[in-house]
């Protein structure tokens, strides 16, 4: 996986057990169902966009790409949210995705 952002590394240093438990929770929740890693990251990307979490959008974009999603699938995941979260939030999330894709 790509290098973690400075803020994440700081939290991990300050509260190592906390982040370890959080990472374990993520592994556990991904493992309890039939969805493959690519799809789970696209679902989590959509959730991050609805929460307006730029850092999580960056993270799940990277993770989805690493799990085999294409840039077009990542963008489509965000565009699908338009009727749910509206164009302004969708546009913001697309700009965060482009930050990762290198086209923003």
Q: Are 12 and 47 part of one and the same domain?
A: no
pTM across the whole model: 0.85
Q: How far apart are CA 35 and CA 96, in angstroms?
A: 25
pLDDT tens profile 6-46: 888 899 899 989 988 988 998 899 899 999 999 999 999 99
Q: To the nearest 10°, the Cα dihedral for 54, 55, 56, 59?
A: 120
Domain that holds residue 103: 36-104
Q: Are 11 and 56 part of one and the same domain?
A: no
Q: Are 21 and 54 part of one and the same domain?
A: no
Q: Are 68 and 27 part of one and the same domain?
A: no
For the chain, the domain total comes to: 2
Q: Are 43 and 20 part of one and the same domain?
A: no
Nearest to 64 by CA among 43, 78, 85, 86: 43
């Amino acid at each position: 996986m790509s290098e973690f952002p400075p803020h994440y590394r700081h939290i991990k240093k300050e509260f190592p057990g906390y982040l370890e438990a959080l990472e374990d929770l993520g592994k556990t929740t991904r493992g309890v169902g039939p969805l493959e890693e690519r799809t789970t990251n696209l679902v989590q990307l959509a959730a991050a966009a609805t929460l307006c979490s730029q850092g999580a959008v960056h993270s799940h974009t990277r993770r989805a790409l690493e799990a085999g999603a294409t840039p077009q699938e990542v963008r489509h995941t965000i565009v699908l949210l338009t009727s749910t979260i509206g164009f302004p939030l969708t546009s913001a999330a697309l700009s965060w995705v482009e930050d990762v894709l290198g086209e923003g």
